[in-house]
Structures are given as C-alpha cells and as structure tokens.
C-alpha cells in the first residue's frame, strides 16, 4: 500500500475496492526541486499528497511573492480555492525540493463518490481537517506575536530555515524579511 493510501486509511478504513477506485484516479509524480508546480490563473483539478519534499503555496502582492502555506511530508497541498470553485486560483505552488507526490484527480472523483459513500465521508474529513488547520493559522495571527509565530513554525517544521529562503518564511509570518532577521538576532542574544 502506498503512502497516500496509508494516509487515507488512517482517516477512514477503506476496503480493497475503494482503494482500487482511488488508485485509478491518482497519479504518482516525481518533481525536481524548485519547480513551479501550479500557476495562479489556472484552474486546479487535483489535490496532492506529499510522500516527501516540501511545497510552498504563495501569491503575488505588489510584485513580491507572499507565502500562504507550507506543506511537507505526509501533508496535503492544493490550490484549494480553485479546486472547489472551478474558478482560476490566486495561488501558486512551488516544490522547493525534489519531491514525490500523489495527485488525486478531483475532477474524476464524482463517480467514486456515487459508488462508494465512504469516500464522501473521507472527503468530508479531509476538508474538515484542512479547515481546522486554517483556523489554527488564524488563531496564531490573533493570539501570537510575529516572534511567537516564528517559534511555533520552528516546532512544526524544525528545519524550515534550511529548506527555504528567509524571505519566504517572513511573508508567511506576515512581516518583512528585515524584521524577521531582527527577531532572529533577538532570539540568539536572548537565549545564548
């Protein structure tokens, strides 16, 4: 069983037949690092499970890239605003490292929903989980300073600073790169 099916199985136990049906609409992809995997303005028709590697979801603001999300091994990533609306997305997705992903072709899933109601449940749980992640992110902005948000990100992805540029992290935290640099300097002197 591949890592994607394992991930799904742990949310809801799936019969052989269901796993087969899902596999039929899933593509395994090997992506080289630094690939712009999905471009804003396009319509997204898949969602992706990262077997390994790192994805960065970002948008353009005043000519600059602003990171909206990081996804790493064992997580789901997609231009979810487009996937569920059929409208062009605001987001871009870049694989920042060599990655192996499983892409589920969402536009082919309707017959599977019809045939296997358990997949409908699976879909409900997946989107619910993503909703809660987004809610967590909003709470981080609500309750925590930029410094605290940085520290929480380090807990979540400890080696993130080795994996992406500081500017990408800064925009994810909602601050300028210079400000993040100063926060880091403060942490160094405060803790050393």
Partner DNA sequence: ATACGATTTTGATAATTGTCAAAGGAATGC
Partner DNA sequence: GCATTCCTTTGACAATTATCAAAATCGTAT
Q: Which residues are near a second copy by CB under 8 A?
A: 59, 61, 66, 68, 80-81, 84-85, 90, 113, 117, 120-121, 123-124, 127-128, 130-132, 134-135, 137-139, 141-143
DSSP label of 89: P
One DSSP character per residue, 18-57 reads HHHHHHHTEEEEEE-TTEEEE-TTSPP-EEEEEEESEEEE
What span, in angstroms and rounded, lies between the C-alpha atoms of 128 and 121?
Answer: 10
Q: Which member of 146, 154, 157, 160 binds DNA (CB under 7 A)?
A: 146
Which 3 state secondary structure label does DSSP give 13? coil
What does the block give as tokens for 127? 């989107």
178 binds, among DNA, a second copy, none (CB under 5 to 8 A by kind): DNA
Sole window of 44-52, 79-87, 118-126, 176-184 interacting with DNA (rule: CB under 7 A): 176-184
Q: Is 184 in the site for DNA (CB under 7 A)?
A: yes
| Interface ranges with DNA (CB under 7 A) | 145-146, 161, 165-167, 174-182, 184-185
């Amino acid at each position: 069983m591949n890592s994607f099916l394992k991930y799904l199985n742990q949310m809801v136990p799936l019969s052989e037949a269901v796993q087969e049906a899902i596999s039929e609409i899933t593509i395994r992809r090997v992506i080289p690092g630094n690939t712009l995997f999905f471009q804003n303005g396009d319509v997204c028709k898949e969602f992706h499970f990262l077997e390994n590697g790192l994805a960065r979801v970002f948008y353009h603001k005043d000519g600059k890239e602003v990171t909206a999300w990081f996804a790493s091994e064992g997580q789901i990533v997609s231009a979810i605003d487009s996937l569920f609306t059929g409208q062009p997305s605001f987001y871009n997705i870049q694989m920042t490292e060599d990655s192996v992903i499983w892409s589920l072709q969402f536009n082919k899933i309707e017959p599977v929903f019809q045939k296997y109601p358990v997949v409908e449940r699976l879909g409900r749980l997946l989107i619910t989980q993503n909703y809660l992640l987004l809610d967590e992110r909003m709470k981080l902005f609500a309750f925590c300073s930029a410094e605290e948000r940085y520290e929480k990100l380090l807990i979540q992805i400890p080696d993130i600073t080795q994996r992406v540029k500081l500017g990408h992290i800064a925009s994810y935290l909602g601050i300028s790169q210079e400000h993040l640099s100063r926060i880091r300097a403060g942490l160094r002197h405060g803790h050393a």
